[in-house]
Amino acid sequence: MTNLKRVAPQQKPRLGIMGGTFDPIHYGHLVAAEMARGEFELSKVLFIPSGTPPHKIRKDLTAANLRYEMVELAIKDNPAFDLSALEIERKGLSYTVETLRVLRRTWPEYELYFITGTDALLEIFSWRDAEEILTMIQFIGAARPGFDASDFLLKVQEEHAEIQGKIHYLEVPALAISSTDIRSRVRCGKPIRYLLPEPVRLFIQQNGFYTAE
């Protein structure tokens, strides 16, 4: 897959945008963001928790403000990470295209790199205004170990010449951790320590998240 060359001094600075539901945020997400920052020479990574994800029908989804708080707790010790309430504050479904239009205006001097899971990326052409999204940004698909999305990504790039070189692939061993597994472990009374930052674990425990069926 495409590998970015080192940023030449005359090139635009790069901003990473970490989009996700983060229910809850865990070390897999944090490692993915930090690896992407190093690999793609991003000046900063902005975490944007989804408000109301357009494709989710999970009745037990944790309230957006609480997922936001968990992200805040998780990233506070990394000066290269930042948090945006854009999607939490916007009414209606959290369409990525609307978020990116705002970010494009706010950070005109930056090249934008949207980081998310490869599973989410596989659905990209079903997203609202996908073609517009692909003209605005580059994508970094963070892959779980054993998940080989490279064939798909190559195919997408062959079939859609306009996005040639705009979708990148990053294997993140720490993504063996998943939010689904953490929720299920809590429900079963299994430990989750060391899967996510300790302040987030305590927040989950204090608020009794993920205990109900």
**Which residues here bind ligand NAP, judged by CB under 6 A?**
18-21, 28-29, 32, 50, 53-56, 94-96, 115-117, 119-120, 123, 127-128, 142, 175, 178-180
174, two tokens: 């720490």
Closest to 94 (Cα-Cα) out of 119, 116, 118, 75: 116
CB of 212 to ligand NAP, least distance (A): 18
Contact 70, 203 (CB under 8 A): yes
**45 φ, ψ to 5°?**
-120, 125
Q: Which is nearer to ligand NAP, 86 or 110 (CB)?
A: 86
Q: Is the Cβ of residue 17 or residue 110 nearer to ligand NAP in the bound state? A: 17
Residue 113, helix vs strand vs coil: strand
Evaluate whether 88 touches 49 at the Cβ level (below 8 Å): yes
In angstroms, give the least distance from the CB of 32 to ligand NAP.
Answer: 4
Rounded-to-integer distance, Cα 133 and Cα 99, Å: 10
Q: Which is nearer to ligand NAP, 11 or 173 (CB)?
A: 173
Which CB atom, from 54 or from 199, has the smaller least distance to ligand NAP? 54
Give the residue with the Cβ less far from ligand NAP, 56 or 104.
56
CA distance 33 to 116: 9
Nearest distance, CB of residue 9 and ligand NAP, angstroms: 29
Q: Which is nearer to ligand NAP, 60 or 123 (CB)?
A: 123
CA–CA separation, 124 and 166 (whole Å): 13
As measured in angstroms, the least distance from the Cβ of 34 to ligand NAP is: 11
What's the min distance (Å) between Cβ of 55 and ligand NAP?
5
Contacts (Cβ under 8 Å, ≥6 apart) of 13: 7, 43, 109, 110, 111
> How far is 2 from 95, CA to CA, in rounded Å?
27
Query: Please, what is the minimum distance in Å from the beta carbon of residue 42 to ligand NAP?
Result: 13
